[in-house]
Homo-oligomer: A and B are copies of this chain.
Amino acid sequence: MDSIELSPKVTAIYQAIVRLFMEGADLNNLTVAEITARAGIGKGTAYEYFSNKEEMIAGALFYEMKRVCQNLCEQIKQQKDLHGKINFILMNMEEHIANTNCVFRSFHVMMGNSAVSSRLKEMVSKKQEDEILIPDIIRIIIEEEMENAKELTEEDKAYLMMMVFSKIICFALYQISAKKELNLESSTMRELICRNINSEIEHFKIDKTEV
């Protein structure tokens, strides 16, 4: 809805960066010349819309993260149970490995110390309520699942989120690096993780209701 407002030049720059990123470019060595050439605009034009290179790159990553997560979130809503939702996320990661890669690598960028990292962290910390990123998706899934269980403390929520998050990272690691070295089918891996999350949450529910 808000992306309609984006100037076509800004969109071109964002798309250029995202594509270069997906093609494996190193963000720290991306040049403005490369970006604008790929975007099909003049070098100076980029500076009509951004105050510096970092702003362009961080902006592009933030925009892409929001776009992908928005889509993901809408599709997840159509899944009925926890297993289905998690499975959907993992399948999505698998099918659109390029996207996954981009989101995963954006997350990776955020953990770094570069100027782009700082800017991206700032953008994320100042994001609007209605802008959805990975942690929000996980939070929503958990909250829906736990509706009937006894009230969760903040700590419980935090633990569950990290639990789910770690499994997702686990699958991402598998997709990106371990897949080649392993003879484990993707579907098997997916199934393992889904069941695992499911059972952990069930255990959690029981613990909570018992108490």
With A26-B114, A113-B27: A182-B154 Cβ-Cβ less than 8 Å: yes
Report whether A29 and B114 are in contact in the complex, using a CB–CB cutoff of 8 Å: yes
Q: Using Cβ atoms and an 8 Å threshold, which residues of chain B touch A26?
A: 112-115, 117
Q: Using Cβ atoms and an 8 Å threshold, which residues of chain B touch A196?
A: 163, 200
With A184-B155, A188-B155: A170-B178 Cβ-Cβ less than 8 Å: no
A208 within 8 A of B: no
- Nearest CB of B to A146, in Å: 16
Report whether A184 and B166 are in contact in the complex, using a CB–CB cutoff of 8 Å: no
Report whether A162 and B178 are in contact in the complex, using a CB–CB cutoff of 8 Å: yes
User: Hey, what's the 0/1 contact readout for A200-211 against B, CB within 8 Å counting as 1?
Assistant: 100100000000
A52 within 8 A of B: no
Q: Please report the C-alpha to C-alpha distance between residue A155 and residue B181 in the assembled complex, in whole angstroms.
A: 10
A173 within 8 A of B: yes
A148 within 8 A of B: no
Report whether A162 and B170 are in contact in the complex, using a CB–CB cutoff of 8 Å: yes
A42 within 8 A of B: no
Report whether A163 and B170 are in contact in the complex, using a CB–CB cutoff of 8 Å: yes
A24 within 8 A of B: yes
Q: Please report the C-alpha to C-alpha distance between residue A86 and residue B117 in the assembled complex, in whole angstroms.
A: 31
Report whether A159 and B173 are in contact in the complex, using a CB–CB cutoff of 8 Å: no
A189 within 8 A of B: yes
Q: Please report the C-alpha to C-alpha distance between residue A105 and residue B29 in the assembled complex, in whole angstroms.
A: 19
Report whether B183 and A155 are in contact in the complex, using a CB–CB cutoff of 8 Å: yes
Can you name 10 A-B pairs with beta carbons within 8 Å?
Answer: A25-B113, A26-B115, A28-B29, A29-B114, A108-B108, A108-B112, A154-B182, A158-B184, A163-B196, A166-B166
Which residue numbers of A lie inside 8 Å of B, CB to CB? Answer: 24-29, 105, 108, 111-115, 117, 154-155, 158-159, 162-163, 165-167, 169-170, 173-174, 176, 178, 181-184, 188-189, 192, 196, 199-200, 203
